Structure 1
Amino acid sequence: MDAIALLELCNYQIVFPQAQTCCGQPPYNSGEASPAKDVAWHTIQVFSDKKLPVIVPSASCAAMIKHHYPTLFDTGSTEHKQAIELSSRTYELIEFLEPILPYNKQSDSSHTHISLHRSCSALREMEVAEPWLSILRKLDGVEVSLPTLEQECCGFGGTFAIKSPEISAAMTADKCEHLLSPNPQSILSGDCGCLLNISGHIKHSGDKRPCTHIARFIAQRFGIQHD
Protein backbone atom coordinates (compact mmCIF):
# COMPACT_ATOMS: atom_id res chain seq x y z
CA MET A 1 0.00 0.00 0.00
CA ASP A 2 2.91 2.36 0.66
CA ALA A 3 4.18 1.71 -2.87
CA ILE A 4 0.76 2.62 -4.27
CA ALA A 5 0.59 5.77 -2.13
CA LEU A 6 3.99 6.94 -3.38
CA LEU A 7 3.18 6.24 -7.01
CA GLU A 8 -0.09 8.13 -6.64
CA LEU A 9 1.85 11.01 -5.10
CA CYS A 10 3.82 11.06 -8.36
CA ASN A 11 0.51 11.31 -10.28
CA TYR A 12 0.38 7.70 -11.47
CA GLN A 13 -2.88 5.79 -11.70
CA ILE A 14 -2.35 2.24 -10.46
CA VAL A 15 -3.55 -0.93 -12.17
CA PHE A 16 -3.25 -3.97 -9.88
CA PRO A 17 -4.00 -7.24 -11.74
CA GLN A 18 -5.72 -9.56 -9.26
CA ALA A 19 -4.46 -12.69 -11.02
CA GLN A 20 -0.79 -12.01 -10.25
CA THR A 21 1.09 -14.51 -8.09
CA CYS A 22 4.60 -15.14 -6.77
CA CYS A 23 7.24 -14.32 -9.40
CA GLY A 24 8.50 -17.93 -9.38
CA GLN A 25 11.85 -17.26 -7.77
CA PRO A 26 11.63 -20.04 -5.09
CA PRO A 27 11.38 -22.93 -7.60
CA TYR A 28 13.85 -21.21 -9.94
CA ASN A 29 16.48 -20.88 -7.21
CA SER A 30 15.89 -24.52 -6.26
CA GLY A 31 16.65 -25.73 -9.79
CA GLU A 32 13.01 -26.49 -10.61
CA ALA A 33 12.91 -24.95 -14.07
CA SER A 34 9.55 -26.38 -15.14
CA PRO A 35 7.35 -24.88 -12.38
CA ALA A 36 9.36 -21.65 -12.54
CA LYS A 37 8.65 -21.50 -16.26
CA ASP A 38 4.93 -22.04 -15.66
CA VAL A 39 4.80 -19.20 -13.14
CA ALA A 40 6.82 -16.95 -15.43
CA TRP A 41 4.49 -17.54 -18.36
CA HIS A 42 1.46 -16.85 -16.16
CA THR A 43 3.03 -13.57 -15.00
CA ILE A 44 3.90 -12.56 -18.56
CA GLN A 45 0.26 -13.06 -19.56
CA VAL A 46 -1.08 -11.19 -16.52
CA PHE A 47 1.10 -8.17 -17.30
CA SER A 48 0.59 -8.31 -21.06
CA ASP A 49 -0.53 -4.68 -21.45
CA LYS A 50 2.49 -3.38 -23.33
CA LYS A 51 1.71 0.26 -22.60
CA LEU A 52 2.29 0.09 -18.84
CA PRO A 53 5.48 -0.04 -16.76
CA VAL A 54 5.55 -2.86 -14.21
CA ILE A 55 6.76 -1.66 -10.81
CA VAL A 56 8.06 -4.23 -8.33
CA PRO A 57 8.60 -3.31 -4.64
CA SER A 58 11.34 -5.88 -4.04
CA ALA A 59 14.66 -5.98 -5.88
CA SER A 60 14.98 -9.77 -5.96
CA CYS A 61 11.51 -10.19 -7.50
CA ALA A 62 12.24 -7.42 -10.00
CA ALA A 63 15.48 -9.19 -10.95
CA MET A 64 13.62 -12.47 -11.47
CA ILE A 65 11.25 -10.87 -13.96
CA LYS A 66 13.76 -8.59 -15.66
CA HIS A 67 16.80 -10.85 -15.93
CA HIS A 68 15.76 -14.47 -15.40
CA TYR A 69 12.42 -14.81 -17.19
CA PRO A 70 14.02 -14.56 -20.66
CA THR A 71 16.41 -17.41 -19.80
CA LEU A 72 13.52 -19.81 -19.16
CA PHE A 73 12.30 -19.89 -22.76
CA ASP A 74 13.84 -20.98 -26.05
CA THR A 75 15.51 -18.12 -27.90
CA GLY A 76 13.31 -16.81 -30.67
CA SER A 77 10.12 -18.41 -29.35
CA THR A 78 6.96 -16.38 -28.80
CA GLU A 79 7.35 -16.86 -25.05
CA HIS A 80 10.94 -15.65 -25.14
CA LYS A 81 10.00 -12.54 -27.11
CA GLN A 82 7.22 -11.72 -24.66
CA ALA A 83 9.55 -12.30 -21.69
CA ILE A 84 12.03 -9.82 -23.18
CA GLU A 85 9.22 -7.33 -23.81
CA LEU A 86 8.06 -7.55 -20.17
CA SER A 87 11.67 -7.25 -19.01
CA SER A 88 12.06 -3.99 -20.93
CA ARG A 89 9.32 -2.25 -18.90
CA THR A 90 9.96 -3.78 -15.47
CA TYR A 91 11.38 -1.50 -12.77
CA GLU A 92 12.27 -1.86 -9.11
CA LEU A 93 10.11 0.56 -7.10
CA ILE A 94 12.76 2.85 -5.57
CA GLU A 95 14.69 3.04 -8.85
CA PHE A 96 11.47 4.24 -10.50
CA LEU A 97 10.59 6.75 -7.77
CA GLU A 98 13.99 8.35 -7.17
CA PRO A 99 14.00 10.77 -10.15
CA ILE A 100 10.30 11.73 -9.95
CA LEU A 101 9.42 11.97 -6.25
CA PRO A 102 8.18 15.50 -5.34
CA TYR A 103 10.68 16.05 -2.53
CA ASN A 104 9.26 19.50 -1.76
CA LYS A 105 6.06 17.87 -0.45
CA GLN A 106 7.83 16.14 2.46
CA SER A 107 5.88 16.88 5.66
CA ASP A 108 8.18 15.36 8.30
CA SER A 109 11.71 16.76 8.28
CA SER A 110 12.63 15.85 11.86
CA HIS A 111 16.05 14.28 12.31
CA THR A 112 16.28 10.51 12.17
CA HIS A 113 19.24 8.17 11.74
CA ILE A 114 18.80 5.02 9.66
CA SER A 115 21.08 2.17 8.63
CA LEU A 116 20.53 1.05 5.03
CA HIS A 117 20.84 -2.57 3.89
CA ARG A 118 21.38 -2.65 0.14
CA SER A 119 20.63 -6.22 -0.86
CA CYS A 120 22.58 -8.55 -3.14
CA SER A 121 19.90 -8.11 -5.81
CA ALA A 122 20.04 -4.32 -5.49
CA LEU A 123 23.84 -4.23 -5.64
CA ARG A 124 24.50 -6.79 -8.34
CA GLU A 125 21.44 -7.89 -10.32
CA MET A 126 19.24 -4.79 -10.57
CA GLU A 127 22.10 -2.34 -9.88
CA VAL A 128 19.73 -0.02 -7.99
CA ALA A 129 21.85 0.43 -4.86
CA GLU A 130 22.67 4.04 -5.74
CA PRO A 131 19.03 5.13 -6.21
CA TRP A 132 18.24 3.58 -2.80
CA LEU A 133 20.90 5.73 -1.18
CA SER A 134 20.17 8.80 -3.28
CA ILE A 135 16.44 8.92 -2.55
CA LEU A 136 17.08 8.79 1.21
CA ARG A 137 19.80 11.43 1.09
CA LYS A 138 17.42 13.76 -0.75
CA LEU A 139 14.98 13.65 2.18
CA ASP A 140 15.27 16.43 4.75
CA GLY A 141 16.41 15.34 8.19
CA VAL A 142 17.49 11.81 7.25
CA GLU A 143 20.98 10.67 8.26
CA VAL A 144 22.01 7.50 6.41
CA SER A 145 24.67 5.01 7.51
CA LEU A 146 25.96 2.15 5.36
CA PRO A 147 27.31 -0.96 7.10
CA THR A 148 30.88 -2.15 6.84
CA LEU A 149 31.35 -5.16 4.54
CA GLU A 150 28.24 -4.02 2.70
CA GLN A 151 28.84 -6.39 -0.22
CA GLU A 152 28.27 -9.44 2.00
CA CYS A 153 24.91 -11.25 1.87
CA CYS A 154 22.58 -11.00 4.89
CA GLY A 155 22.23 -14.79 4.93
CA PHE A 156 18.73 -15.05 3.51
CA GLY A 157 19.31 -16.05 -0.11
CA GLY A 158 15.80 -17.46 -0.48
CA THR A 159 15.87 -21.21 0.13
CA PHE A 160 19.53 -20.99 1.24
CA ALA A 161 18.32 -19.96 4.71
CA ILE A 162 16.29 -23.18 4.91
CA LYS A 163 18.83 -25.53 3.34
CA SER A 164 21.84 -24.21 5.29
CA PRO A 165 20.37 -22.69 8.48
CA GLU A 166 23.58 -22.69 10.54
CA ILE A 167 25.60 -20.86 7.89
CA SER A 168 22.69 -18.51 7.20
CA ALA A 169 22.30 -17.67 10.90
CA ALA A 170 25.99 -16.83 11.24
CA MET A 171 25.86 -14.58 8.19
CA THR A 172 22.74 -12.85 9.50
CA ALA A 173 24.35 -12.24 12.89
CA ASP A 174 27.35 -10.59 11.22
CA LYS A 175 25.14 -8.44 8.99
CA CYS A 176 22.98 -7.28 11.91
CA GLU A 177 26.06 -6.43 13.96
CA HIS A 178 27.32 -4.21 11.14
CA LEU A 179 23.92 -2.60 10.55
CA LEU A 180 23.46 -1.80 14.24
CA SER A 181 27.04 -0.64 14.83
CA PRO A 182 26.35 3.04 13.90
CA ASN A 183 23.50 2.99 16.48
CA PRO A 184 20.68 3.88 14.05
CA GLN A 185 17.08 4.43 15.08
CA SER A 186 15.88 1.99 12.43
CA ILE A 187 17.05 -0.26 9.59
CA LEU A 188 15.78 0.12 6.03
CA SER A 189 15.93 -2.03 2.91
CA GLY A 190 14.06 -2.44 -0.35
CA ASP A 191 14.09 -6.24 -0.37
CA CYS A 192 11.32 -7.96 1.57
CA GLY A 193 13.14 -11.27 2.09
CA CYS A 194 16.16 -9.52 3.59
CA LEU A 195 13.92 -7.46 5.86
CA LEU A 196 12.17 -10.57 7.20
CA ASN A 197 15.52 -12.23 7.84
CA ILE A 198 17.20 -9.25 9.48
CA SER A 199 14.17 -8.21 11.55
CA GLY A 200 13.72 -11.77 12.80
CA HIS A 201 17.29 -11.90 14.09
CA ILE A 202 17.10 -8.45 15.68
CA LYS A 203 13.79 -9.17 17.43
CA HIS A 204 15.10 -12.53 18.66
CA SER A 205 18.07 -10.72 20.21
CA GLY A 206 15.68 -8.47 22.14
CA ASP A 207 16.34 -5.30 20.14
CA LYS A 208 13.11 -3.40 19.41
CA ARG A 209 14.39 -1.13 16.66
CA PRO A 210 12.18 -1.40 13.57
CA CYS A 211 13.22 -2.87 10.23
CA THR A 212 11.22 -1.09 7.56
CA HIS A 213 10.82 -1.10 3.79
CA ILE A 214 12.18 2.05 2.18
CA ALA A 215 8.74 2.73 0.66
CA ARG A 216 7.03 2.72 4.06
CA PHE A 217 9.68 5.00 5.53
CA ILE A 218 9.31 7.50 2.69
CA ALA A 219 5.50 7.39 2.85
CA GLN A 220 5.71 8.18 6.56
CA ARG A 221 8.02 11.13 5.90
CA PHE A 222 5.49 12.46 3.39
CA GLY A 223 2.54 11.74 5.68
CA ILE A 224 0.66 9.74 3.06
CA GLN A 225 -1.14 6.43 2.85
CA HIS A 226 -3.26 4.63 0.26
CA ASP A 227 -7.01 4.82 0.96
Structure 2
Amino acid sequence: MTKPDHVLFFGTCLIDLVLPSAGLAGMRLIEREGVRVRFPQDQTCCGQPAYNAGEREEARHVARHQLDVLSGEEPIVIPSASCAGMFKVHYPRLLADTPDADRARRLADRVVELCDFLDRVLAVRLTDRGPPVKVALHQSCSARREMKVAPAAARLLEQLSGVDIVEPDHAEECCGFGGTFAVKEPEISAAMASDKARSVAATGAPLLLSQECGCLTNLSGTAGHLKLGYETRHIAEFLWERTQHD
Protein backbone atom coordinates (compact mmCIF):
# COMPACT_ATOMS: atom_id res chain seq x y z
CA MET A 1 0.00 0.00 0.00
CA THR A 2 1.38 3.41 -1.00
CA LYS A 3 0.78 6.61 0.96
CA PRO A 4 -2.78 7.75 0.19
CA ASP A 5 -4.10 11.29 -0.10
CA HIS A 6 -6.96 10.54 2.30
CA VAL A 7 -8.37 7.75 4.44
CA LEU A 8 -11.54 6.77 6.26
CA PHE A 9 -11.24 6.43 10.03
CA PHE A 10 -13.34 3.84 11.86
CA GLY A 11 -13.59 4.91 15.49
CA THR A 12 -14.82 1.71 17.23
CA CYS A 13 -17.47 1.52 19.96
CA LEU A 14 -15.05 1.67 22.88
CA ILE A 15 -13.23 4.70 21.54
CA ASP A 16 -16.58 6.39 20.96
CA LEU A 17 -17.88 5.58 24.45
CA VAL A 18 -14.77 5.30 26.64
CA LEU A 19 -11.65 6.74 25.00
CA PRO A 20 -12.60 9.39 22.43
CA SER A 21 -9.27 11.15 23.02
CA ALA A 22 -7.49 8.09 21.58
CA GLY A 23 -9.50 8.34 18.38
CA LEU A 24 -8.76 12.05 18.04
CA ALA A 25 -5.06 11.39 18.63
CA GLY A 26 -5.03 8.71 15.95
CA MET A 27 -6.60 11.05 13.41
CA ARG A 28 -4.18 13.85 14.32
CA LEU A 29 -1.18 11.56 13.89
CA ILE A 30 -2.37 10.74 10.37
CA GLU A 31 -3.23 14.30 9.43
CA ARG A 32 0.17 15.53 10.60
CA GLU A 33 1.67 13.39 7.82
CA GLY A 34 -0.33 15.26 5.19
CA VAL A 35 -3.11 12.69 4.80
CA ARG A 36 -6.70 13.92 5.00
CA VAL A 37 -8.94 11.95 7.37
CA ARG A 38 -12.67 11.49 6.89
CA PHE A 39 -14.83 10.15 9.73
CA PRO A 40 -18.14 8.78 8.37
CA GLN A 41 -20.76 9.93 10.85
CA ASP A 42 -23.10 6.96 10.33
CA GLN A 43 -20.56 4.30 11.31
CA THR A 44 -21.59 2.03 14.18
CA CYS A 45 -20.24 -1.19 15.73
CA CYS A 46 -18.14 -3.58 13.66
CA GLY A 47 -20.44 -6.42 14.75
CA GLN A 48 -18.03 -8.35 16.98
CA PRO A 49 -20.38 -8.72 19.98
CA ALA A 50 -23.12 -10.30 17.90
CA TYR A 51 -20.64 -12.39 15.92
CA ASN A 52 -18.90 -13.74 19.03
CA ALA A 53 -22.25 -14.50 20.63
CA GLY A 54 -23.24 -16.67 17.67
CA GLU A 55 -25.88 -14.22 16.41
CA ARG A 56 -24.81 -14.49 12.80
CA GLU A 57 -27.84 -12.83 11.21
CA GLU A 58 -27.59 -9.82 13.52
CA ALA A 59 -23.86 -9.62 12.77
CA ARG A 60 -24.61 -9.67 9.03
CA HIS A 61 -27.07 -6.82 9.50
CA VAL A 62 -24.39 -4.75 11.24
CA ALA A 63 -21.76 -5.70 8.67
CA ARG A 64 -23.94 -4.64 5.74
CA HIS A 65 -24.44 -1.24 7.33
CA GLN A 66 -20.66 -0.76 7.57
CA LEU A 67 -20.26 -1.85 3.95
CA ASP A 68 -22.62 0.98 2.98
CA VAL A 69 -21.11 3.61 5.28
CA LEU A 70 -17.48 2.77 4.44
CA SER A 71 -17.91 2.34 0.70
CA GLY A 72 -15.22 3.75 -1.55
CA GLU A 73 -11.64 3.00 -2.52
CA GLU A 74 -9.57 4.73 0.19
CA PRO A 75 -7.91 2.82 3.06
CA ILE A 76 -9.92 2.30 6.24
CA VAL A 77 -7.72 2.95 9.28
CA ILE A 78 -8.82 1.37 12.56
CA PRO A 79 -7.23 2.05 15.98
CA SER A 80 -8.07 -1.45 17.22
CA ALA A 81 -6.63 -4.73 15.99
CA SER A 82 -9.70 -6.74 16.98
CA CYS A 83 -12.10 -4.47 15.07
CA ALA A 84 -9.71 -4.46 12.13
CA GLY A 85 -9.67 -8.24 12.29
CA MET A 86 -13.46 -8.35 12.25
CA PHE A 87 -13.49 -6.38 9.00
CA LYS A 88 -10.51 -8.04 7.37
CA VAL A 89 -10.89 -11.67 8.43
CA HIS A 90 -14.46 -12.29 9.52
CA TYR A 91 -16.57 -10.15 7.18
CA PRO A 92 -15.57 -12.21 4.12
CA ARG A 93 -16.46 -15.39 6.03
CA LEU A 94 -19.67 -13.97 7.46
CA LEU A 95 -20.93 -12.75 4.08
CA ALA A 96 -19.59 -15.56 1.90
CA ASP A 97 -22.22 -17.04 -0.42
CA THR A 98 -24.36 -13.90 -0.11
CA PRO A 99 -24.88 -11.04 -2.57
CA ASP A 100 -22.50 -8.96 -0.42
CA ALA A 101 -19.55 -11.35 -0.65
CA ASP A 102 -17.63 -9.25 -3.17
CA ARG A 103 -18.24 -6.04 -1.23
CA ALA A 104 -16.99 -7.71 1.94
CA ARG A 105 -13.77 -8.84 0.23
CA ARG A 106 -13.15 -5.42 -1.26
CA LEU A 107 -13.64 -3.73 2.10
CA ALA A 108 -11.34 -6.26 3.78
CA ASP A 109 -8.58 -5.39 1.31
CA ARG A 110 -8.80 -1.71 2.34
CA VAL A 111 -8.51 -2.24 6.10
CA VAL A 112 -5.32 -1.39 7.99
CA GLU A 113 -4.72 -1.14 11.74
CA LEU A 114 -3.54 2.29 12.93
CA CYS A 115 -0.03 1.38 14.18
CA ASP A 116 0.62 -0.63 11.04
CA PHE A 117 -0.57 2.29 8.93
CA LEU A 118 1.69 4.78 10.70
CA ASP A 119 4.70 2.47 10.63
CA ARG A 120 4.47 0.61 7.34
CA VAL A 121 2.42 2.85 5.05
CA LEU A 122 3.32 6.35 6.26
CA ALA A 123 6.77 5.41 7.61
CA VAL A 124 6.43 8.14 10.24
CA ARG A 125 9.53 9.50 11.94
CA LEU A 126 8.90 10.56 15.53
CA THR A 127 10.86 13.00 17.67
CA ASP A 128 10.38 12.49 21.39
CA ARG A 129 9.56 15.67 23.33
CA GLY A 130 8.62 14.16 26.68
CA PRO A 131 10.50 13.39 29.90
CA PRO A 132 12.07 9.97 30.50
CA VAL A 133 9.48 7.33 31.32
CA LYS A 134 9.19 3.55 31.55
CA VAL A 135 6.17 2.00 29.84
CA ALA A 136 4.83 -1.54 29.68
CA LEU A 137 3.49 -2.58 26.29
CA HIS A 138 0.56 -4.99 26.03
CA GLN A 139 -0.08 -6.39 22.57
CA SER A 140 -3.57 -7.78 22.09
CA CYS A 141 -4.26 -11.29 20.86
CA SER A 142 -5.72 -9.85 17.66
CA ALA A 143 -2.63 -7.71 17.06
CA ARG A 144 -0.31 -10.67 17.59
CA ARG A 145 -2.11 -13.50 15.91
CA GLU A 146 -4.98 -12.33 13.73
CA MET A 147 -3.71 -9.07 12.22
CA LYS A 148 0.00 -9.77 12.88
CA VAL A 149 0.74 -6.08 13.45
CA ALA A 150 2.28 -6.24 16.93
CA PRO A 151 5.80 -5.31 15.70
CA ALA A 152 4.49 -2.00 14.35
CA ALA A 153 3.50 -0.72 17.80
CA ALA A 154 6.91 -1.61 19.22
CA ARG A 155 8.74 0.04 16.32
CA LEU A 156 6.83 3.29 16.81
CA LEU A 157 7.65 3.39 20.52
CA GLU A 158 11.29 2.51 19.88
CA GLN A 159 11.65 5.82 18.00
CA LEU A 160 11.01 7.73 21.24
CA SER A 161 14.38 8.35 22.84
CA GLY A 162 13.05 9.00 26.34
CA VAL A 163 10.84 5.93 26.52
CA ASP A 164 12.05 2.70 28.11
CA ILE A 165 9.80 -0.10 26.84
CA VAL A 166 9.34 -3.22 28.97
CA GLU A 167 7.36 -6.34 28.19
CA PRO A 168 5.55 -8.10 31.04
CA ASP A 169 6.08 -11.80 31.74
CA HIS A 170 3.79 -14.11 29.75
CA ALA A 171 3.24 -11.25 27.31
CA GLU A 172 1.62 -13.45 24.67
CA GLU A 173 -1.16 -14.60 26.99
CA CYS A 174 -4.66 -13.11 26.73
CA CYS A 175 -5.71 -10.42 29.21
CA GLY A 176 -9.00 -12.23 29.74
CA PHE A 177 -11.32 -9.75 28.05
CA GLY A 178 -11.99 -11.52 24.76
CA GLY A 179 -15.16 -9.55 24.10
CA THR A 180 -18.12 -11.69 25.15
CA PHE A 181 -15.76 -14.23 26.77
CA ALA A 182 -15.58 -11.93 29.82
CA VAL A 183 -19.37 -12.24 30.12
CA LYS A 184 -19.63 -15.95 29.33
CA GLU A 185 -16.78 -17.02 31.62
CA PRO A 186 -16.46 -14.25 34.24
CA GLU A 187 -14.44 -16.21 36.80
CA ILE A 188 -11.89 -17.43 34.27
CA SER A 189 -11.74 -13.99 32.69
CA ALA A 190 -11.19 -12.28 36.05
CA ALA A 191 -8.39 -14.70 36.95
CA MET A 192 -6.66 -14.11 33.61
CA ALA A 193 -6.98 -10.34 33.99
CA SER A 194 -5.60 -10.49 37.52
CA ASP A 195 -2.55 -12.48 36.38
CA LYS A 196 -1.94 -10.10 33.51
CA ALA A 197 -2.40 -6.97 35.64
CA ARG A 198 0.03 -8.25 38.27
CA SER A 199 2.62 -9.11 35.63
CA VAL A 200 2.41 -5.52 34.38
CA ALA A 201 2.85 -4.20 37.92
CA ALA A 202 5.92 -6.39 38.35
CA THR A 203 7.71 -4.47 35.58
CA GLY A 204 7.68 -1.33 37.72
CA ALA A 205 6.33 0.73 34.82
CA PRO A 206 3.92 3.48 35.86
CA LEU A 207 2.11 3.34 32.52
CA LEU A 208 0.62 0.53 30.42
CA LEU A 209 0.11 1.08 26.70
CA SER A 210 -1.85 -0.93 24.16
CA GLN A 211 -3.48 -0.51 20.76
CA GLU A 212 -6.63 -2.26 22.03
CA CYS A 213 -9.28 -0.39 24.01
CA GLY A 214 -10.93 -3.59 25.21
CA CYS A 215 -7.69 -4.79 26.80
CA LEU A 216 -7.04 -1.35 28.27
CA THR A 217 -10.52 -1.14 29.78
CA ASN A 218 -10.19 -4.61 31.26
CA LEU A 219 -6.70 -4.12 32.66
CA SER A 220 -7.39 -0.60 33.90
CA GLY A 221 -10.36 -1.80 35.92
CA THR A 222 -8.47 -4.81 37.24
CA ALA A 223 -5.42 -2.76 38.19
CA GLY A 224 -7.62 -0.29 39.99
CA HIS A 225 -9.47 -3.03 41.85
CA LEU A 226 -6.18 -4.61 42.92
CA LYS A 227 -4.68 -1.18 43.76
CA LEU A 228 -1.62 -1.84 41.58
CA GLY A 229 -0.93 1.83 40.99
CA TYR A 230 -0.25 2.17 37.27
CA GLU A 231 -2.18 4.05 34.59
CA THR A 232 -3.29 2.86 31.17
CA ARG A 233 -3.40 4.68 27.85
CA HIS A 234 -4.02 3.96 24.19
CA ILE A 235 -0.77 4.08 22.23
CA ALA A 236 -2.15 6.69 19.80
CA GLU A 237 -2.77 9.17 22.59
CA PHE A 238 0.68 8.51 24.06
CA LEU A 239 2.43 8.98 20.69
CA TRP A 240 0.59 12.23 20.04
CA GLU A 241 1.38 13.66 23.48
CA ARG A 242 5.07 12.71 23.28
CA THR A 243 5.67 14.21 19.86
CA GLN A 244 3.84 17.55 20.02
CA HIS A 245 5.71 20.79 19.47
CA ASP A 246 5.51 23.45 22.19
TM-score > 0.5, shorter chain as reference: yes
Equivalent residue number for residue 77 of structure 2: 55
Does residue 158 in structure 1 map to residue 171 in structure 2? no
TM-score with structure 2 length normalisation?
A: 0.86
TM-score with structure 1 length normalisation?
A: 0.93
> For each residue in 1:83-110, what CA deviation from the matched residue of structure 2 results, as whole angstroms up to 9, or x when unmatched?
0000001001111011435425x35142
Equivalent residue number for residue 35 of structure 1: 58
Distance (whole Å) between structure 1 residues aligned to residue 146 and residue 128 of structure 2: 33
Does residue 172 in structure 1 map to residue 193 in structure 2? yes
Secondary structure of 1:103's counterpart equals coil
- Give the letter for the 1:149 counterpart: H
- Give the letter for the 1:133 counterpart: A
- Give the letter for the 1:139 counterpart: L
Identity over aligned residues, as a percent?
Answer: 42
- After the TM superposition, which residues 127-206 of structure 1 pair with which residues of structure 2 at under 5 Å, given as runs? 127-206=148-227
- Give the letter for the 1:204 counterpart: H
Structure 1: segments with no counterpart, 5+ residues: none
Distance (whole Å) between structure 1 residues aligned to residue 168 and residue 72 of structure 2: 40
Secondary structure of 1:131's counterpart equals helix
Equivalent residue number for residue 67 of structure 2: 44
Equivalent residue number for residue 23 of structure 1: 46
Secondary structure of 1:148's counterpart equals coil
Q: CA deviation at 1:78?
A: 3.8
Work out whether residues 128 and 162 of structure 2, in 8 Å CA contact, stay in contact via their aligned partners in 1: no
Does residue 79 in structure 1 map to residue 84 in structure 2? no
Equivalent residue number for residue 140 of structure 2: 119
Q: Give 4+ residue runs of structure 1 displaced > 3 Å after superposition.
A: none
> For each residue in 1:62-101, what CA deviation from the matched residue of structure 2 results, as whole angstroms up to 9, or x when unmatched?
00001000011234x4411110000001001111011435
Q: How many residues align?
A: 221
CA RMSD between the two structures: 1.4
Distance (whole Å) between structure 1 residues aligned to residue 125 and residue 175 of structure 2: 30
Work out whether residues 26 and 158 of structure 1, in 8 Å CA contact, stay in contact via their aligned partners in 2: yes
Work out whether residues 211 and 234 of structure 2, in 8 Å CA contact, stay in contact via their aligned partners in 1: yes
Work out whether residues 20 and 43 of structure 1, in 8 Å CA contact, stay in contact via their aligned partners in 2: yes
Distance (whole Å) between structure 2 residues aligned to residue 102 and residue 174 of structure 1: 34
Distance (whole Å) between structure 1 residues aligned to residue 75 and residue 57 of structure 2: 27
Does residue 64 in structure 1 map to residue 86 in structure 2? yes
Work out whether residues 114 and 188 of structure 1, in 8 Å CA contact, stay in contact via their aligned partners in 2: yes
- Give the letter for the 1:93 counterpart: L
- Give the letter for the 2:191 counterpart: A
Does residue 6 in structure 1 map to residue 29 in structure 2? yes
